[in-house]
Amino acid sequence: MRVAGGVPLFTTKKMTSKMCDALKWCCDKRGLRIYEFVILPDRILLIANCAWGALPDIVAGFKKFTSKAVMLMLRNGRRDLDRSWMIPVLEECSASNGVEGFSIWEDEDRTRSLYTQEMIDNHALKIKEAPVKLGVVKKPKYYLLCSANPANPLEGWQVAVTDRGI
């Protein structure tokens, strides 16, 4: 999921906590299963499926809730942070995407189905290496908002995958 206009929204603890709380809620109440994740400044990457319901519905609900929450945070946030430029950019991108109301997310669906273990492994590696590729950290395990970090905020909410040698 990419933030509209490439706006770097997820750079503060308050904002990333809101995203993590929303993902946890989706796991608990909507059946989302997260296997791998990373929250970057302008996007969230996941390998996920759902225990019940449809994944597109869960993602749509997540996007709708987080769009409203982020807009409130931007409008009512601390004045010492200059985030005022973000609101017009996000509103313009929402209007150009034909989204009804306000959305912080790009309208484009970037969902991919992963059919083989090789595809899953390749995408998992890309997710874990994304912060390294951006130059934020030297190793994935040092990026807190990544499933590669044992102390990540979604620890305990992720589905543990074990190889049973089948």
Question: How many beta carbons lie within 10 A of that of residue 103, not counting itself?
Answer: 23
Q: How far is CA 110 from the centre of its chain?
A: 12
Neighbours of 145 (CB within 10 A): 20
Dump the DSSP string for 96-165.
HTT-SS--SB-SS-------SHHHHHHHHHHHHHHHHHTTS-SSGGG-TTBTTSTT-TTTTTBPP-----
pLDDT for the residue numbered 82: 64
Q: Where are the domains of the chain?
A: 4-142
Q: Give the pTM.
A: 0.88
> Per residue in 79-123, pLDDT tens?
555 677 787 888 787 655 545 567 889 887 778 888 899 999 999
> Residues 60-84: what's their mean pLDDT?
81
Q: What confidence category does residue 78 fall into, taking pLDDT thresholds of 50, 70 and 90?
A: low
The domain made up of 4-142 has a fold known as: Alpha-Beta Plaits (3.30.70)
